[in-house]
Structure 1
Amino acid sequence: MSNPLADMEKPQTIFCIGTNMTECHPVAATRLKKAVANGARMIVADPRRIGLCDHADLYLPIRVGSDVALLLGMAHVIARDGLVNEAFVRERTTQVEEFFEHIKGFPPEWAAEITGVPAADIEKAARWYGEVERGAIYYTLGITEHICGVDNVQSLCNLALMTGHIGREGTGINPMRGQNNIQGAGDCGALPNNFPGFQSVIDPAVQAKFEKLWGVKVDLEKGCTKVAALDRCGDEIKAMLICGENTVVSDPNLAHCRKALERLDHLVVADIFLTETAAMADVVLPATSWGETDGVNTNTERRVQRLRAAVPPVGEAKPDWWLLSELAKRCGLRGFEWQSAKDVFNELCEVSPLYHGLDWDRIDTGEYHWPCPDKDHPGEPRLHSEGFINGRGVFKLLDYRDPAETVSDEFPVWLTTGRRLPAYHTHTQTGRSAGIDYLLSEETLEVHPDDVADWGLSDGEWCTMSSARGSIRIKVQANSCSPRGTVFASFSFADTPVNILTGGGYDPATDTAELKVCPVRIEASFRA
């Protein structure tokens, strides 16, 4: 997030797009509710009428995968109606003339035909966001899990640059991270294109820095993504280590994923439970859970926080850093002689400019947001207050493109996937709680009541849902949350493997799967 969580209570206009925040980030969502109660206006753009819409002043029911069209239409209106922050654009952006010429071709009427949102509502959303002093954007995986995920994010950045809604209290571009340490994992270099601290692996100066630090030759090229790694299993890749991820439930195109793992000579899984993925492993390494672990999390607002073990580990469970250290040492690798989580974190602070002013002791109270470049620096809750890292914000010239797969006579229904409040991710932890099971005991397919009638389905009965990659059986839940022609399910239950169906396309820049758009066919069925 560019701004701290506390700023969620301070915008005059809140624009939420592709985020089911009341279910996926329910605590953070209370801040938006407070802002609305205090007079802020909230716009929600989502294919489904999610719970957040109950607090919205304007709901934009976009068709799945049409975000770029909506955002181009809004940009057109902001420019047309004189809502551009001319001083900000002049002083802090580049590629200005080309961008403003480009968006002339995308009026709200054009956007309405693609998104299904009335042109008048697109205009209203643009004006509400553009005319205020403090406007803030919030998004999650509903923006990024598309073949055009990068385009979606850059389209949102264009809106912020046009209006100057960045670098100030109650503004910003704010991605709500999907899990508790996703931000921290990226900070540490758990990305194929970056060393720790988002230092590029293709920068020769950075390469030299890490070669000196690690004492080994470092390739001057990007690593492969997980998607590419699975494609190479059994060929260039003979062995794999999976830490804390239930790949054969959460990944798209599960049949392909499972076959890829089966082609490996050796699979090792480190996890806190024997998940469906761990059950496939040749070796399972028992890891400690959050309550048994000393460590560090960096949350969605870039706040660096200590974790403290509350209870001793069960059985032979060890923290992830210890497992990785021991594996490395037994493979003959140097530089993994850590004795504690403190050693690991302090090394991160040495090599990452974002963390350089921090250390294990300084983060004791969890008060610092990166970047914190030196010991006297107070941290930076708001990014881009004085400028951008490259000097100027770059307007991107983007065009709308259809999802990788669109509805057809064979697959005439849009499926979109996501999460539900009672079930965390693949149910590895929440599925082992009897209390949670009382709230959500099985997966269901959310279908509009009129579609239930027209398709010959029955509420609470079974249907077969098929895509180009396979079929599953799932119970029908008549629910008007989804519009006609669109259905919804989560991927939390291994016995209802929704991700067998997904995986029709990937963002060419990031390899992120298009989990939010999948054409399917729905047929009445009976459980054998």
Structure 2
Amino acid sequence: MSNPLVDMEHPEVIFAIGTNMTECHPVAATRLKKAVSRGAKMIVVDPRETRLAKMADLHIRIRVGSDVALLLAMAHVISREGLIDKEFIESRTSGSEDFLNHVKDFTPEWASEICEVPAEQIEQAALWYGEGNPSAIYYTLGITEHICGVDNVQSLCNLSLMTGNLGIKGGGINPMRGQNNIQGAGDCGAVPNNFPGFQPCDDQSHADKFSKAYGNQIDAQRGITKVAALNSCGSEGPDGIHAMLIDGENTVVTDPDMNHCKNALKSLKHLVVIDLFLTETAQLADVVFPATAFAETDGVQTNTERRVQRLRAAVPPPGEAKPDWWIISEISKRMGNTQFNHFESAKDVFNELCSLSPIYAGLDWDRIGDGEFQWPVPEKDHPGTPRLHEKEFKNGKGLFKIIGYRDPAEVIDADYPVWLTTGRRLQAYHSRTQTGRSAGIDYLLNEESLEINPSDAADWNIDDGEIVEMKSRRGSIQIKARLTDCSPKGTVFTSFSFASVPVNILTGSGYDPVTDTAELKVCPVSITKIDQGSA
């Protein structure tokens, strides 16, 4: 997030797109509720009528996968109406002239046909956002899990840049992270293109720096994504992958194209999984290491607002469970590597991160004890940076990007005439590795269902509670129908949480060409009623 969580209480206009925040980030969402109660206007862009959408002053139910068209048209209106921040654009951005010329062609009427919403709603959203002082953007995986995920994010950045809503209280562009330490994992280099601290892997100076620190020669090149790794599992030749370590992820349930994922993992000669429980993925492993849970672990997590926080073990771990860092270190030692020999505690690991990462350089284990710092903290005694971009951008100027609309990887047709979109539910966290073992939560949600608009259900002769077959170009599943106006006509929704209803057998139509992120939010399907005798 560019802004701290407390700033969520201070926008004049909230623009929430691709986020079901009241279910996926219920604690953070209370701050938006406070802002609304104080008079802030809220625009929600979501095909479904979620709890957040019901709170909105304007709910735009766009067709899944059409975000770029909407955002181009909003930029068109903001420019046409003179709502741009000329001073900010001239002093702090680059590429504005080409961008403003580009958006002249993308009218609300043009976007209306693609997004399947009235042009008047697009016009209103643009005017409110452009007039807001300040206006803030909030988004989650509904923006990024598309073949155009990068385009979506860059389009949102364009809106922030053209209105000067960056580096100010109550403004910003704020991705809400999907899990508690996703931000921290990225900070530590758990991405294929960056060393710790978001230092690019393909920069020779960075490669030299980490080669020296780790005692092994590291080439100045980007690593491969998980998608590419799974595609290479079992392949012969120099790029083939024959062994894999999966740490804390139930890949089989959460990844797209489940059958492909299972076959890839089964083709490995050796699979190691580190996890709390024997998940569906761990069941395929040759070796499973039991990890400690958060309450059993001393360590560090960095949350969605870049706040660096200590974890303190409250209870001893059961059995032979060990912290992830210890397991990885011991595996490395047994492979003959020496760069982990000095790790005796989580403190040693974190202090090494601080010595190598410029955004953590002013921190150490003792300084983060009270969780008061948000990175970047570039030097000792630095107070931290709650709000990014207040005076300047890291690379000098904010860059406008020329973005064009493109359809999803697959679109509906006569064989697959319904849009499927997936997500999470309040009661079930992720793949239920943890929440699925709680009797209390099981009482609240013990099975998955498919949200179907009653009008569609009538056309398809489907009653509430009946079992239907949902099929895509990759496979089919059976699932119980739940009739609700929450999903619009022509679009159905389910979560990916239940292994017993493996919706990700269906997904995986395409991937973002920059990030390899799967298009989990758009999947054309067909839906047919199953005779009760054969269900």
| TM-score band, normalised by shorter chain | over 0.9
1:313 and 2:281 aligned: no
| Residue 162 (structure 2) pairs with residue 158 (structure 1) | no
1:254 is matched with 258
Question: Which residue is 1:133 aligned to?
Answer: 133
Please state if 1:502 is matched with 2:507: yes
Supply the AA of the counterpart residue of 2:65: G
TM-score normalised per structure 1: 0.99
Partner of 1:366: 371
Structure 1 position 419 matched with structure 2 position 418: no
Amino acid at match of 1:328: S
SS of the equivalent of 2:162 reads helix
| Equivalent in the alignment of 1:34 | 34
Task: Report the alpha carbon displacement of residue 132 of structure 1 after superposing the two structures with TM.
Answer: 2.1
1:173 equivalent to 2:173? Answer: yes
Distance in 2 between residues matched to 1:334 and 1:41, nearest whole Å: 56
Partner of 1:516: 521
User: What is the letter of the counterpart of residue 142 of structure 1?
Assistant: G
1:109 is the counterpart of 2:109: yes
CA distance in 1, matches of 2:50, 2:280: 30
Name the CA distance, whole Å, in 1 between partners of 2:393 and 2:116.
35
Aligned to 1:296: 300
Match of 1:474 in 2: 479
279, 285, 304: which one aligns with 1:281? 285
Q: CA deviation at 1:118?
A: 1.0
* Aligned counterpart in structure 2 of residue 354 of structure 1, from 350, 359, 370: 359
| Residues 121-141 of structure 1 deviation map (CA, whole Å, 9 limit, x = unaligned) | 111111111112200000000
Taking the aligned partners of 2:196 and 2:397, their CA distance within structure 1 comes to 24
Structure 1: which amino acid aligns with 2:94? T
Per-residue deviation, 1:453 = 1.1
2: CA distance, partners of 1:425 / 1:159: 31
| AA partner of residue 522 (structure 1) | I
Unmatched 5+ stretches in structure 2: none
CA distance, structure 1, for counterparts of residue 298 and residue 216 of structure 2: 29
Q: Deviations over 1:328-351 (max 9, x none)?
A: 000001211210000000000000
Query: Match of 1:348, SS?
Result: helix
**Matched positions, count:** 528
**Gap regions ≥5 residues in structure 1:** none
What secondary structure is seen at the aligned counterpart in 1 of 2:22?
helix
Shift of 1:311: 0.3
AA at the equivalent of 1:478: L
Question: d(CA) in 2 for partners of 1:453 and 1:340?
Answer: 61
- What is the CA deviation profile of residues 64-101 of structure 1, one whole-angstrom value per residue up to 9, with x for unaligned ones? 00000000000000000000000000000111111111
Structure 1 distance, partners of 2:485, 2:100, is 39
Where does residue 400 of structure 2 map in the other structure? 395
2:435 maps to 1:433: no
Residues 367-417 of structure 1 deviation map (CA, whole Å, 9 limit, x = unaligned):
000000001200000000011111111100000000000000000000000
Counterpart Cα distance in 1 of 2:440 and 2:215? 51
Q: Which amino acid aligns with 2:205?
A: A
One-letter amino acid of the counterpart of residue 146, structure 1:
H
CA separation in 2, counterparts of 1:239 and 1:132? 53
Tell me, in whole angstroms, the C-alpha distance in 1 between the residues paired with 2:338 and 2:114: 55
Q: 1:487 aligns with which of 486, 492, 496?
A: 492
- Name the counterpart of 1:12: 12
- SS of aligned partner of 2:359: coil
Q: Identify the residue that residue 239 of structure 1 maps to in structure 2.
A: 243
Query: Hey, what's the Cα distance between the residues in 1 that align with 2:470 and 2:129?
Result: 39
1:149 aligned partner, one-letter code: G
| In structure 2, distance between residues paired with 1:443 and 1:306 | 35
Matched, 1:331 2:360: no
SS at 1:354 equivalent = helix
Per the TM alignment, residue 477 of structure 1 is displaced from its structure 2 partner at its CA by: 0.3
1:205 Cα deviation (Å)?
1.1
Could you tell me the TM-score, scaled by structure 2's length? 0.98
Confirm or deny that 1:198 pairs with 2:202: no
Letter in structure 2 aligned against 1:309: A
1:457-492 deviation per Cα after TM superposition (whole angstroms, max 9, x unaligned): 111010000000000000000011000000000000
Identical columns (%): 68
CA distance in 1, matches of 2:347, 2:7: 31
Q: Give 1:57's aligned residue.
A: 57
Q: State the alpha-carbon separation in 1 of the partners of residues 405 and 427 from structure 2.
A: 35
CA distance in 2, matches of 1:224, 1:126: 38
Q: Pairwise CA RMSD of aligned residues?
A: 0.6
Report the secondary structure of 2:378's partner residue.
coil
TM-aligned CA deviation for residue 147 of structure 1: 0.1
Runs of 4 or more consecutive aligned structure 1 residues displaced over 4 Å after TM superposition: none
Displacement of 1:516 in angstroms is 0.1
